[in-house]
């Protein structure tokens, strides 16, 4: 048979209403039927290019006609049409999905079949058919009428097909090129500048073999989102893939996108951990490939507003402000944007999520997507993401089109894209409240252990590591003897912040003992479950605690001493701010004299209670007084149901054991109340029912006190201990609890230590079923502030992620919940908040939180709650020349040091390095005073490159920081 016409029947009246809304197989079938008709043997047979006709107005003449009916049109095909086509000698192909199958069916009826045309040339014809369709659709998407010379285009396409069938590939490609060029001219008529396609290949451990090598073998520019863990596996087991990757990087066809060695839960980590992970990743890439990524990207959620300054100082030129995981992040008004961080640092970024290149609807709607970008973006761009080998034929069509022309876009690497395209008119700053991670929900679904306390342990260990680092640095600077820091321990701490799945031992033991489900346990089963749930001493906790103790002893040994050994305490402050520390010790025979730096001291039941003002990066030496201190006649810190000090008074409800009220003496209004609770989620709406807020139907088990006792009442410390049960509305007991309230003299923080013994496990929805500490305040209009990477950020959503504090502020009143590393909180209404303590899978049973009254710099108090006092008990001479002193001092308390290290050259210490973070959101000019004379100081980035000199005046380093800025300073001794 020789075809006289190639025709597709479509359910539309014109290309203006072309059926673009289809997905899946329907979209695939529509594109497959359309492009299959462009096989050169079919065109050469018909002597003309394919055309289309309305399905409700099919052709009358069917003889020798090839008619395509995709699934989107099949329902409207007139009854009997298929039989008439067969009878009259037409070929009808309908409801297929695979282009090759359609082509095979069409060629089977054609005399000469495919005529031996080169498959590569045939693929170019398919690409031409797809390009023609998309350019026509794009023209209409841009609200233009077609300006294409249809006669010239069709003549050139037909001539190309005839040449291809005749075996003249050179002539065929020349004619094809003419066709593509005229389509490009048509696009240039309404959009005369370049549009871009970013091809992003995602790589995981399971996709590093042959499919990835095939992706790397092409010449069209592509971008490889390759994490450090996948790269390690390539190095270990895929040498051929490694060589292909190296070759692509060398010839510039591949752009590496990545950054970290491991994609950790960045929003829950410190800046120091993030920088350490980026440095580990850079070293891994350099060692394996000889290249490191210049474009930052990750698949797992991990975006945050403070990231631009870390990336720019670490040497990145651009970033993907989009991830392919669950979680919420803001999209930019432009796809290419200048992402401005919280400190004002900017970095070029892709600010919209890529589209799925494995879905056929992506290519059916390609003209719509590109047209929208042409309308809205100053750089028209479509970003496609896919796994190696998991694409569609139309991505290959796009690549082939790009070899001939840029009618549908130019494929580029991200390095080229950021380097060569224009910048937007203004940067975009995304607020911290616009980001919401999926970590808690994912941890519960994946049955990870300790989804909450893992963060608490991380921040405690991190604080200990940084304390040890600071003290080791001080010791080294005092003695001029370099000290090797334990980087392996720091890596272990960061690694432990992740959540590997572990067996639920308590559940397994309970089921085994009960011989069935955990809902009907025998006493023996309950005992076995509780015993299995008691966490063992973690070796990592032992290591970090030992690191602090060892560093403190090293620092104590480095201090110059007076003669005459005495038994005493060296209270050490490794923080860069003054700390008023509450210390409980047995290291003194009797309390020291109450004089600076001792603010309060008393003996109680064999222990000494102290309140000590310890200088920043310094120490205070304490020794027993010659005589016991005289008891004052002040009002006691603790008595029945009441705790008080100079700043506030806390009332404990004698029936529930909850914090009934917290107020200052100049106002009787309640600042905050607190209680424990277990959230019982309400009934889920059934399908078809109206949405209802989960908070409206939720109920809570509440505290019921069995004892309220004053357990400490000294001159320095007051404590009330409450024990009882959490009882639900149905009178069921859901947990036993103990809550210990503590207040030190001179402190603005009410410390609360919680112990829970749950009797039930929360349900699988961690944001709707949990044990919690509940807080309530008086004013619905109060503003909420929380921390993100130790910096103060406003918040307005229901879910709050803040491992350090949540501050409730109204006018001049500030009440701060110090969370002690607990990261997840849920706001209930306008004046309540739940801090999540136990969700499904959580084994921790002890928690520490605090409530601060008018804290000027709550970040410092939050870190003080996490890092316990560092005390060295020793028999030695007092430090000389003074028993209390600082070694480094900042005159601004909203600046904190996150890292200290000696600056060494040729094995000798010549100065020090410090990284500084502004925590309150206010630009500041601060001075750093040092215990030794400084000659010069300069800012450097995180690669060690200079960033500007710091002036040194009167022995002080003058440093300017923008709000939330994090910088590194190197100083040299005089």
What are the pLDDT digits (tens) for 842-853? 999 999 999 999
pLDDT value at 630 more than 80: no
* Whole-number pLDDT of residue 483: 83
**Which of residues 642 and 499 earns the better pLDDT score?**
642
Decide the pairing of beta strands 196-203 and 410-411: parallel
Question: Are the C-beta atoms of 514 and 525 separated by less than 8 Å?
Answer: yes
DSSP letter for each residue of 343-370: TS-EEEEE-SPPEETT-HHHHHTHHHHH
Give the position of tokens 């870390």: 310
* Whole-number pLDDT of residue 690: 78
pLDDT value at 506 more than 80: no
* Whole-number pLDDT of residue 517: 35
* Whole-number pLDDT of residue 199: 97
Q: Report cis status (omega within 30 of 0) of the bond before 759.
A: no
* Whole-number pLDDT of residue 685: 75
Cα gap 863→850, rounded to integer Å: 11
Cα gap 549→237, rounded to integer Å: 42
Average pLDDT value over all residues in the chain = 93
Q: Which of 335, 332, 333, 265 is nearest to 303 (CA)?
A: 265
Those residues with Cβ within 8 angstroms of residue 922's Cβ, 6 or more apart along the chain or in another chain: 894, 963
Question: Are the C-beta atoms of 401 and 407 separated by less than 8 Å?
Answer: yes
What are the pLDDT digits (tens) for 291-349? 999 999 999 999 999 999 999 999 999 999 999 989 999 999 999 999 999 999 999 99
Ramachandran category for residue 821: left, alpha or beta (phi over 0 → left; psi -120 to 50 → alpha): left
Cα gap 562→498, rounded to integer Å: 47
Cα gap 892→391, rounded to integer Å: 56
633 confidence band (pLDDT: 50, 70, 90): low
pLDDT value at 535 more than 80: no
> What ranges make up the beta strands (E) of 811-861?
813-818, 824-828, 832-838, 846-853
Q: What is the mean pLDDT of residues 463-478?
A: 97
pLDDT value at 918 more than 90: yes
Q: What is the mean pLDDT of residues 600-620?
A: 96
735 confidence band (pLDDT: 50, 70, 90): very high
537 confidence band (pLDDT: 50, 70, 90): confident
CB atoms within 10 A of CB 428: 18
Q: What is the mean pLDDT of residues 737-749?
A: 98
* Burial per residue of 801-840, b for 16 or more beta-carbon CB atoms within 10 angstroms, e otherwise: bbbbbbbbbeeebbbbbbbbbbbbbbbbeebebbbbbbbb
536 confidence band (pLDDT: 50, 70, 90): low
* Whole-number pLDDT of residue 383: 97
Q: Which of 127, 106, 107 is nearest to 116 (CA)?
A: 107
Instruction: Find the helix packing angle between 99-108 and 24-36, rounded to 10°.
Output: 40
Torsion of CA 340, 343, 344, 349, to 10 degrees: -20
**The tokens of 176 are what?**
């094809």
Cα gap 427→436, rounded to integer Å: 22
What percent of the chain stands above pLDDT 70? Answer: 96
Those residues with Cβ within 8 angstroms of residue 198's Cβ, 6 or more apart along the chain or in another chain: 223, 350, 354, 381, 382, 383, 384, 411, 412, 414, 417
Could you give phi then psi for residue 352, rounded to 5 degrees?
A: -135, 150
**The tokens of 180 are what?**
């593509």
pTM: 0.92
What are the pLDDT digits (tens) for 181-229? 999 999 999 999 999 999 999 999 889 999 999 989 888 999 999 999 9
Question: Are the C-beta atoms of 639 and 710 separated by less than 8 Å?
Answer: yes
Cα gap 695→785, rounded to integer Å: 22
Cα gap 136→148, rounded to integer Å: 9
| 78 DSSP 8-state letter | P
Residues in the chain: 974
* Burial per residue of 739-758, b for 16 or more beta-carbon CB atoms within 10 angstroms, e otherwise: bbbbbbbbbbbbbbbbebeb
What are the pLDDT digits (tens) for 29-61? 999 999 999 999 999 999 999 999 999 999 999
* Whole-number pLDDT of residue 501: 60
Strand, helix or coil for residue 896: strand
Cα gap 796→809, rounded to integer Å: 13
pLDDT value at 434 more than 80: yes
Cα gap 808→814, rounded to integer Å: 6
* Whole-number pLDDT of residue 514: 37
Decide the pairing of beta strands 908-918 and 895-905: antiparallel
* Burial per residue of 304-330, b for 16 or more beta-carbon CB atoms within 10 angstroms, e otherwise: bbbbbbbbbbbbbbbbbbbbbeebebb
Cα gap 531→556, rounded to integer Å: 40
CB atoms within 10 A of CB 39: 27
| 434 DSSP 8-state letter | G
524 confidence band (pLDDT: 50, 70, 90): very low
Q: How far is CA 607 from the centre of its chain?
A: 45
pLDDT value at 512 more than 50: no
* Whole-number pLDDT of residue 746: 96
Strand, helix or coil for residue 863: helix
* Whole-number pLDDT of residue 522: 42
pLDDT value at 255 more than 80: yes
Q: What is the mean pLDDT of residues 691-716?
A: 92
* Whole-number pLDDT of residue 603: 93
What are the pLDDT digits (tens) for 796-828? 999 999 999 999 999 889 999 999 999 999 999
**Which of residues 516 and 750 earns the better pLDDT score?**
750
pLDDT value at 415 more than 60: yes
Q: Which of 192-206, 363-377, 520-534, 673-687 has the lowest mean pLDDT?
A: 520-534
Question: Are the C-beta atoms of 300 and 311 separated by less than 8 Å?
Answer: no
**Which of residues 628 and 69 earns the better pLDDT score?**
69
* Whole-number pLDDT of residue 531: 47
What percent of the chain stands above pLDDT 90? Answer: 88
Ramachandran category for residue 396: left, alpha or beta (phi over 0 → left; psi -120 to 50 → alpha): alpha
Distances in whole angstroms, Cα of residue 743 to Cα of each of 604, 714, 752? 15, 11, 9
694 confidence band (pLDDT: 50, 70, 90): confident
* Whole-number pLDDT of residue 503: 45
SS3 letters across 44-67: HHHCCCCEEEECCCCCCCCCCEEE
What are the pLDDT digits (tens) for 548-601? 999 999 999 999 999 989 999 999 999 999 999 999 999 998 999 999 999 999
**The tokens of 66 are what?**
């090839």
Strand, helix or coil for residue 223: strand
pLDDT value at 9 more than 70: yes
* Whole-number pLDDT of residue 217: 86
Q: From edge to edge, which strands make up the β-sheet containing 952-953?
A: 888-890, 924-930, 956-961, 952-953
Largest CA distance in the chain: 120
* Whole-number pLDDT of residue 632: 67
Question: Are the C-beta atoms of 231 and 242 separated by less than 8 Å?
Answer: no
pLDDT value at 485 more than 90: no
Q: What is the mean pLDDT of residues 163-186?
A: 96
Distances in whole angstroms, Cα of residue 835 to Cα of each of 191, 235, 821? 53, 44, 11
Q: Which of 775, 768, 701 is nearest to 737 (CA)?
A: 701
Contacts of 206-210 with C-beta under 8 Å, sequence gap 24+, read 207/387, 207/388, 207/389, 208/233, 208/234, 208/237, 208/238, 208/241, 209/238, 209/241, 210/389
Q: Which of 726, 758, 840, 115 is nearest to 440 (CA)?
A: 840
Burial class (CB in 10 A: 0-12, 13-18, 19+), 426: exposed
* Whole-number pLDDT of residue 299: 94
């Amino acid at each position: 048979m020789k075809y006289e016409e190639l025709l597709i029947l479509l359910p539309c009246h014109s290309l203006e209403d072309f059926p673009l809304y289809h997905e899946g197989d329907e979209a695939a079938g529509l594109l497959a039927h359309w492009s299959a008709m462009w096989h050169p043997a079919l065109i050469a047979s018909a002597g003309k290019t394919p055309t289309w006709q309305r399905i409700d107005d099919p052709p009358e003449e069917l003889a020798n006609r090839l008619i395509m009916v995709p699934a989107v049109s099949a329902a409207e095909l007139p009854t009997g049409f298929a039989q008439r086509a067969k009878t009259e000698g037409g070929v009808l192909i309908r409801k297929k999905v695979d282009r090759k199958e359609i082509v095979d069916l069409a060629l089977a009826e054609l005399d000469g079949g495919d005529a031996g045309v080169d498959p590569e040339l045939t693929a170019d014809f398919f690409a031409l058919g797809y390009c023609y369709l998309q350019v026509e659709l794009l023209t209409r998407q841009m609200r233009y009428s077609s300006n294409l010379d249809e006669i010239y285009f069709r003549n050139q396409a037909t001539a190309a097909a005839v040449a291809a069938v005749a075996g003249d590939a050179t002539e065929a490609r020349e004619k094809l090129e003419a066709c593509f060029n005229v389509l490009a001219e048509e696009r240039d008529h309404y959009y005369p500048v370049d549009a871009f396609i970013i091809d992003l290949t995602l790589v995981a451990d399971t996709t590093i073999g042959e499919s990835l090598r095939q992706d790397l073998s092409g010449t069209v520019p592509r971008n490889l989102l390759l994490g450090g863990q996948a790269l390690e596996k390539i190095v270990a087991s895929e040498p051929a893939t490694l060589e292909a990757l190296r070759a692509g990087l060398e010839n510039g066809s591949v752009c590496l996108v990545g950054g970290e060695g491991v994609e950790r839960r960045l929003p829950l980590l410190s800046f120091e951990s993030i920088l350490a992970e980026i440095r580990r990743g850079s070293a891994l890439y350099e060692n394996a490939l000889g290249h490191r990524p210049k474009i930052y990207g990750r698949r797992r959620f991990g975006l945050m507003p403070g990231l631009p300054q870390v990336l720019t100082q670490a040497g990145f030129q651009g970033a993907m402000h989009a991830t392919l995981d669950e979680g919420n992040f803001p999209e930019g008004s432009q796809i290419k944007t200048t992402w401005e961080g919280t400190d004002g640092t900017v970095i070029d970024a892709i600010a919209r999520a890529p589209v799925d290149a494995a879905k056929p609807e992506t290519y059916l709607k390609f003209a719509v997507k590109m047209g929208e970008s042409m309308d809205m973006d100053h750089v028209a761009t479509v970003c496609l993401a896919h796994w190696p080998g998991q694409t569609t034929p139309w991505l290959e069509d796009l690549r082939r089109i790009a070899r001939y022309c840029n009618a549908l876009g130019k494929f580029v690497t991200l390095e080229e894209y950021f380097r060569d395209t224009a910048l937007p008119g203004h940067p975009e700053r995304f607020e911290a409240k616009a980001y919401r991670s999926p970590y808690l929900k994912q941890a519960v679904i994946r049955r990870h252990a300790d989804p909450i306390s893992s963060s608490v342990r991380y921040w405690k260990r991190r604080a200990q590591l940084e304390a040890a680092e600071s003290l080791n640095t001080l010791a080294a600077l005092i003695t001029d003897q370099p000290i090797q820091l334990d980087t392996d321990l720091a890596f272990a701490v960061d690694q432990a912040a992740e959540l590997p799945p572990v067996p639920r031992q308590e559940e397994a033991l309970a089921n085994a003992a009960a011989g069935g489900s955990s809902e009907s346990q025998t006493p023996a089963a309950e005992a076995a479950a509780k015993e299995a749930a008691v966490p063992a001493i973690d070796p990592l906790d032992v290591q970090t605690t030992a690191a602090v103790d060892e560093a403190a002893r090293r620092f104590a040994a480095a201090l110059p001493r007076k003669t005459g050994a005495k038994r005493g305490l060296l209270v050490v402050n490794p923080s860069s701010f003054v700390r008023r520390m509450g210390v409980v010790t047995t290291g003194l025979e009797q309390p020291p004299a109450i004089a600076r730096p001792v603010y309060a001291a008393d003996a109680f039941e064999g222990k000494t209670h102290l309140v000590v003002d310890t200088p920043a990066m310094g120490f205070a030496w304490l020794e027993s007084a010659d005589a016991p201190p005289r008891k004052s006649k002040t009002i006691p810190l603790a008595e029945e149901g009441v705790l008080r000090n100079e700043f506030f008074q806390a009332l404990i409800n004698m029936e529930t054991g909850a914090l009934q009220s917290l107020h200052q003496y100049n106002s009787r209004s309640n600042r905050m109340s607190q209680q424990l609770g277990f959230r019982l989620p309400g009934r889920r709406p059934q399908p078809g029912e109206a949405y209802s807020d989960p908070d409206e139907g939720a109920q809570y088990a509440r505290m019921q006190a069995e004892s309220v006792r004053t357990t400490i009442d000294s001159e320095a410390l007051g404590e009330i201990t409450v024990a009882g049960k959490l009882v639900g509305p149905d009178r069921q007991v859901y947990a036993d609890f103990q809550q210990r309230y503590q207040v030190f003299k001179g402190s603005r923080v009410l410390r609360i230590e919680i112990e829970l013994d749950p009797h039930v496990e929360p349900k699988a929805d961690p944001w709707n079923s949990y044990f919690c500490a509940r807080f309530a305040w008086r004013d619905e209009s109060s503003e909420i502030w929380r921390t993100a990477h130790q910096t103060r950020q406003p918040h307005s959503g229901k879910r709050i992620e803040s491992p350090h504090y949540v501050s409730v502020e109204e006018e001049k009143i500030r009440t701060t919940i110090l969370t002690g590393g607990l990261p997840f909180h849920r706001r209930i209404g306008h004046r309540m908040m739940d801090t999540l303590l136990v969700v499904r899978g959580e084994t921790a049973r002890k928690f520490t939180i605090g409530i601060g009254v008018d804290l000027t710099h709550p970040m410092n108090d939050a870190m003080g709650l996490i890092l316990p006092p560092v005390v060295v008990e020793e028999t030695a001479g007092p430090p000389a020349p003074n028993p209390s002193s600082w070694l480094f001092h900042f005159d601004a308390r909203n600046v904190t040091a996150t890292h200290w290290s000696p600056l060494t050259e040729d094995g000798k210490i010549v100065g020090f390095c410090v990284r500084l973070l502004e925590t309150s959101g206010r630009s500041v000019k601060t001075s750093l005073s040092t215990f030794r004379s400084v000659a010069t100081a300069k800012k450097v980035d995180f690669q060690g490159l200079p960033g500007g000199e710091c002036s040194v005046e009167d022995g002080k380093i003058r440093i300017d920081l923008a709000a939330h800025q994090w910088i590194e300073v190197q100083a040299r001794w005089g």
